[in-house]
Structure 1
């Protein structure tokens, strides 16, 4: 099995939208697709794709809120590849990239009740929740990791 993590390129845009479709409605609300499209078009700072045997199976990014905070953004995996360690591999890759920046002291992730345990397993601590934040039935789980 050949596993690669590469920087996002616009050529992957449609595949990433399809990947999101595969994660709706279990992990994302349908109305979040426009937010993801806007993110890819206008807000990408460090965004990566995960390829397994040259098939795009995952993606996720890093943005920077201020001089010492990194924000994990728009992580998702193809449903057929979930629960096999690929998400962990991508997250650890991103955390290594963050650690290369000497000014970053904390990492934030804003996720939902559907994915927060994944981040807890990696050491993120829950700071706050807000019911129906993303959409009805999709609560905010604000989490932090000190690096």
Structure 2
């Protein structure tokens, strides 16, 4: 198993669509939130999910993510994307207060339902934090407070900075009992 940088993210779009759909199914439609969709597809409707999510995924892969990584063991077991060049990107969910050259966002962070609870998420998150630090960036996450991921990030050393629109902004401080080092 290894973490690989995806040099041409659009080339793995179909594989990512299937992976994200598995996550969507395993979270009973909670993640990805698909908050922009007028009607969310059911968790057993891949084609409906694809119609809603594919254009958004194409945008993220082609124009938003600065780096995309996958954790693989043959198939994708987890993903994480980094966004650190915020200039000119329509990142409307990121508050102005943190939109600067020192900010690094951890995005698209998820693991396959089959490997949850086995430490793969911690490996990916630790990798993302270190990569952003190596780039001279401060790691942030913007998420929904209702997701399980919110409490996961708090345990892993993130602290709430602010509420923003429907989101919560978290900053990595490295404090806390489960903080990643």
Q: TM-score, normalised by structure 1?
A: 0.80
1:108 equivalent in alignment to 2:140: yes
1:16-31 to 2 correspondences below 5 Å: 16-24=16-24, 25-30=29-34, 31=37
Structure 2 unmatched runs, 5+: 38-51, 87-99, 175-181
Q: Distance in 1 between matches of 2:57 and 2:134?
A: 26
Q: Does the CA-based 8 Å contact 1:17-1:37 persist in structure 2?
A: no
Structure (1/2) with the larger strand percentage? 1
Residues 82-137 of structure 1 deviation map (CA, whole Å, 9 limit, x = unaligned): 12111110011111111212x32x21101122111111122100123357x3xxxx
> Which is higher, the Rg of structure 1 or of structure 2?
2
Q: Distance in 2 between matches of 1:37 and 1:76?
A: 17
Structure 2 partner of 1:137 = none
Q: Distance in 2 between matches of 1:4 and 1:47?
A: 14
1:1-147 to 2 correspondences below 5 Å: 3-8=1-6, 9=8, 10-24=10-24, 25-30=29-34, 31=37, 33=53, 34-52=55-73, 54-64=74-84, 65=86, 66-101=100-135, 103-104=136-137, 106-112=138-144, 113-114=146-147, 115-129=149-163, 133=166, 140-146=167-173
Higher relative contact order (CA 8 A, sep 6+): 1
